[in-house]
Amino acid sequence: MRLRNVTGSREVIAQSRFVVPEETLKEMPGKWHALFGNEHPIRVEIGMGKGKFLHALAKENPDVNYIGIEKYSTVLLRAVQKMEQEELPNLRFLRMEAEEIAEVFGEGEIDRIYLNFSDPWPKDRHAKRRLPSREFLARYDKILKRDGVIEFKTDNRDLFDFAVEELEPAGWKVQVITYDLHADPVLMEGNVMTEYEEKFSAAGNPICKYVIRR
Ligand code: SAH
């Protein structure tokens, strides 16, 4: 009997039709609608983890295209496996570091950006690595449509306070803000919980959320 090859996550991802090949990403600005074969809006989650949130959204909204960005192939593998079980035409994944996002999408090509439970990078000297930092907001500014929005959810109050302080200097305005999303029936309408959101809200942590625009 021959043992089956245990394929590594990097190889699975490199071969998956749900993952846009890494080596082509820098040629993609301006071509994302063509990739999906329609003109539907494109929404991106940065740091999607296992992809439960995007899979649910993509299933609910067939007229919207979704892209999940994740830097770790071992984590992205879970999202790919979910797609193998239940394939959706309007959801694709990218294995990449979010810092390169403005080189991968063209001007105004994105309709909405989701940041969910982003890594906190608690040390001051790492503030630039936080996904809602002014440095990242400047990158999002390039790729997001003029009337596009960013939605951010986290249970980390320090990170959320930091994110709110970044808005004015970076030229963004709050459209919606709450420090306890799950206690707000209006904002909870249509809320899709992420994996971290389920875990942390079950532990009793309030969830903060903002929606911002320029
Ligand atoms: N959004 C998911 C996962 C949150 S954990 C949820 O809410 O359940 C944060 C995820 O973001 C991790 O999987 C981490 O690997 C990814 N991530 C963090 N910084 C990133 C970056 N700079 N580029 C790409 N992915 C990143």
- What is the residue extent of each domain of the chain? 31-213
Task: Give pLDDT, residue 154.
Answer: 98
What mean pLDDT is predicted for residues 11-33? Answer: 96
The fraction of the chain above a pLDDT of 70, given in percent, is 97
Q: Tell me the best of 67, 118, 199 to mutate to test the pocket of ligand 1, counting ligand atoms within 8 Å of each CB and taking the most.
A: 118
Residue 6 above 60 pLDDT? no
3-state helix, strand, coil in the chain (%, to 5): 45, 20, 35
Task: Give pLDDT, residue 2.
Answer: 58
Q: Convert the pLDDT of each residue in 76-133 to its tens digit.
A: 999 999 999 999 999 999 999 999 999 999 999 999 999 999 999 999 999 999 999 9
What mean pLDDT is predicted for residues 182-209? Answer: 97
**Inter-residue contact 54 to 68 (CB < 8 Å):** yes
| Residue the block writes with tokens 């539907």 | 40
Of ligand 1's atoms, which has the minimum distance to the CA of residue 45? 1
What mean pLDDT is predicted for residues 182-198? Answer: 97
Q: Tell me the best of 116, 119, 121 to mutate to test the pocket of ligand 1, counting ligand atoms within 8 Å of each CB and taking the most.
A: 119
Residue 208 above 80 pLDDT? yes
Task: Give pLDDT, residue 7.
Answer: 66
Banded model confidence at residue 5, pLDDT cuts 50, 70, 90: low
Query: 3 CA to middle of ligand 1, Å?
Result: 34
Task: Give pLDDT, residue 214.
Answer: 96
What mean pLDDT is predicted for residues 27-41? Answer: 98
- Cβ(156) to ligand 1 under 6 A? no
First to last CA, the chain: 62
Query: For residue 190, which of 151, 154, 155, 147 has the smallest C-alpha distance?
Result: 151
Of ligand 1's atoms, which has the minimum distance to the CA of residue 99? 22
**Rounded distance, CA 198 to CA 201, Å?**
5
- Cβ(109) to ligand 1 under 6 A? no
- Cβ(97) to ligand 1 under 6 A? yes
What mean pLDDT is predicted for residues 185-199? Answer: 97
Considering the candidates 111, 119, 155, 180, report the single residue annotated as catalytic. 119
Banded model confidence at residue 9, pLDDT cuts 50, 70, 90: confident
Task: Give pLDDT, residue 3.
Answer: 57
What mean pLDDT is predicted for residues 25-49? Answer: 98
What mean pLDDT is predicted for residues 23-48? Answer: 98
Task: Assign domain 31-213 one CATH number from 3.40.50.150, 3.40.1010.10, 3.40.190.10, 3.90.1170.40.
Answer: 3.40.50.150
- Cβ(93) to ligand 1 under 6 A? no
Query: 46 CA to middle of ligand 1, Å?
Result: 7
DSSP E strands in 47-109: the ranges are 65-70, 91-95
- Cβ(116) to ligand 1 under 6 A? yes
Burial state string for 135-162 with b = 16 or more CB within 10 A and e = fewer than 16: ebbebbbbbbeeebbbbbbbbbeebbeb
What mean pLDDT is predicted for residues 51-77? Answer: 97
